[in-house]
Structure 1
Amino acid sequence: MTLNNKVIWITGASSGIGKSLAIELSNYPCQLILSARRKEVLEEVKKQYKHPENVAVLPFDLADYKAMPQIANEAVKCFGVVDMLINNGGISQRSPIIETAIEVDKKLIDIDYLGTVALTKAILPHFVSNQSGCFVVVSSLMGKFSSPLRSAYCAAKHALHGFFDALRLEHHKDNIKVTLICPGFVNTNVARNALTADGSQQIIQDKMTENGLNPDIFVKKMIKAIKKEKFEAYIGKFEAFGVYVQRLSPRLIHWLVLRSKVK
């Protein structure tokens, strides 16, 4: 797959992986639609793009999934077409199950799963009409195996795999591609922004995230996987091997995660 002359829509584009991805894509002759909640931050990202005239800013909140049909229509109007939707927006969690308010579980599902699904369903008819399109979904290694203190996050990411695997099957006939990107630890603000048991932000960085891949390195690997039209790509350091260990022995990955003392 080529990214040249494509219109690529990125959610969660104001920071972290989404921001690095937007800047890296400035090396390609493509047009971007950048989305997140804060318009002013997206405008700053746009200024870092080599050709800002090829960038549109479309702010919205993933939690407001009932608004997605209107948002999708606005996205198409930006450049007349959308060729690829990169579902990158979302939040994480750091709290024990026994202490976590059910409202926190709901918020993770609303944003990380339902928001992404609603946006996907909203742009899907456009892809079907064009008999072409690509969904890229930034899931997580936690969408393949689980880890302590991330129960709602793991649940939402696991759900994304179920949904998008089904979408890939249903719309193979429409030439619609799906690539699920599963990051391990990436050095972004995901841990600082993670929700705790009462719904407040964690604020502090954790060591595993801090020692993770540089987001600029990560997005180069991500783009390579997209171009190869991979069904799934596992991108990280040592932790990426957990996917293969899980396939071999669920009991072994259980033991290894316990020993890793992930926080």
Structure 2
Amino acid sequence: MDVPSVAVLPLLVVAAAGVYFIYNWVLRFLSPSLVRNKVVVITDAVSGVGSECARLFHQGGARLVLCGTSWDKLESLFDSLTSDADLKETFAPKLVILDFSDMESMHEVVAEVGECYGCVDVLVCNSSMKLKAPVQSVSLELDRNIMDINYFGPSTLAKGLLPTMISRRSGHILLVNSIQGRLAVPFRSSYAASKHAAQAFFDCLRAEVEEYGISVSTISHTFINASGPEPGDTHTQAKPGGLAAFISSQLTHGVSPAALAGEVVRTVSRKRKEVLLAHPIPRVALLLRSLFPPLLFSVLAAGVKDSDMAEQM
């Protein structure tokens, strides 16, 4: 029986959607196994996202190098990963003290990380320092500290580990960044500036190292939402009704550490160059920033004038 021509396109769409679904399902199933025996370095491994990444990579059989500022927290994470682990299927993680606010120690840290296994297959730059404050209240010292942790630290570590990746003509560098690396929001000037700098650096790096078979990925996410409102923010609720209340409801959504860690593993497995984890409102804002910037600027300025909106932003 011949299929009517008008039904061909819908059938093709359904078939393509089915193939895409199966493809993603298979990749999600295979993602952990694709990192087996890979040397994976994770910065700020003791954070919510870092520890979730460590758990997933460890379960996948990766050889982990976990970095953090607290030895006690690193040891606690080590114990939680190895307590019930099958030593025939997994490797005991190696621990390295890494504090991006101490840039003088970076040379020694790079050497120590490189000596753990002699090479690095995957570098996950996860460290971040947040700040919410009006521009005029942020000191130069605080600006520099944020730039060290969010930009100079990750870029210096990446540059330090890059020579061995180039010599082996393989490797993957992944930056867990923020949507504010692409979209500046009021009262986040220093934070957004550092994230914009990191985004630009890794975008340039991607193009420069592609010829060596090295992948560079960035994941731009909204705020990490472990249990409700944005961590570190204390604000009043917007009044019911109106645009401010609607945008407020959208801004209270975030990405969970587990979901972001899962995306990190999938991005490494698929070698995706750029991932955006955001709800519709930030996506629309990004579109406006590209196509109608004066409109977005007006909306942001109007929001700052509205005390309820300013607190929510």
TM-score range, shorter chain: 0.7 to 0.9
**CA shift in 2, pair 1:227/1:53, >3 Å:** closer
Shift of 1:94: 0.8
Out of 130, 146, 155, the position equivalent to 1:108 is 146
Name 2:197's counterpart in structure 1: 159
**CA shift in 2, pair 1:228/1:205, >3 Å:** farther
Query: Higher helix fraction: Structure 1 or Structure 2?
Result: 2
Shift of 1:101: 1.3
Distance in 1 (CA, whole Å) between partners of 2:123 and 2:62 is 13
Matched position secondary structure for 1:54: coil
Length-normalised TM-score, structure 2: 0.73
Length-normalised TM-score, structure 1: 0.86
Segment of structure 1 superposing worse, 80-89 or 47-56: 47-56
Distance in 2 (CA, whole Å) between partners of 1:235 and 1:65 is 30
Name 1:23's counterpart in structure 2: 55
Shift of 1:102: 1.6
Matched position secondary structure for 2:97: coil
Name 2:266's counterpart in structure 1: 224
Structure 1: gaps (5+ residues): 193-201
Distance in 1 (CA, whole Å) between partners of 2:197 and 2:281 is 21
Q: Does residue 254 in structure 1 map to residue 292 in structure 2?
A: no
Out of 44, 59, 69, the position equivalent to 1:37 is 69
Distance in 2 (CA, whole Å) between partners of 1:127 and 1:99 is 42
Contact 1:17 1:188 in 2 (8 A): no
Out of 36, 46, 69, the position equivalent to 1:14 is 46
**CA shift in 2, pair 1:77/1:206, >3 Å:** farther
Segment of structure 1 superposing worse, 18-27 or 82-91: 18-27
Q: What amino acid is aligned across from residue 221 of structure 1 in structure 2?
A: E
Name 2:214's counterpart in structure 1: 176
Shift of 1:91: 0.4
Name 1:236's counterpart in structure 2: 278
Deviation string 1:105-138 (CA, Å, 9 cap, x unpaired) is: 1111122111111111111111111111111011
Name 2:118's counterpart in structure 1: 80
Matched position secondary structure for 2:297: helix
Contact 2:172 2:268 in 1 (8 A): no
Distance in 2 (CA, whole Å) between partners of 1:238 and 1:256 is 16
Shift of 1:162: 1.5
Q: What amino acid is aligned across from residue 261 of structure 2 in structure 1?
A: V
Matched position secondary structure for 2:81: coil
**CA shift in 2, pair 1:233/1:255, >3 Å:** farther
Structure 2: gaps (5+ residues): 1-30, 238-247, 304-308
Structure with greater Cα Rg: 2
Higher relative contact order (CA 8 A, sep 6+): 1
Shift of 1:174: 1.1
Contact 1:69 1:123 in 2 (8 A): no
Percent of counterpart pairs with the same letter?
Answer: 26
Deviation string 1:188-221 (CA, Å, 9 cap, x unpaired) is: 59843xxxxxxxxx7x599888742221122212
Distance in 2 (CA, whole Å) between partners of 1:97 and 1:234 is 27
Contact 2:224 2:231 in 1 (8 A): no
Shift of 1:46: 1.7
Distance in 2 (CA, whole Å) between partners of 1:5 and 1:205 is 45
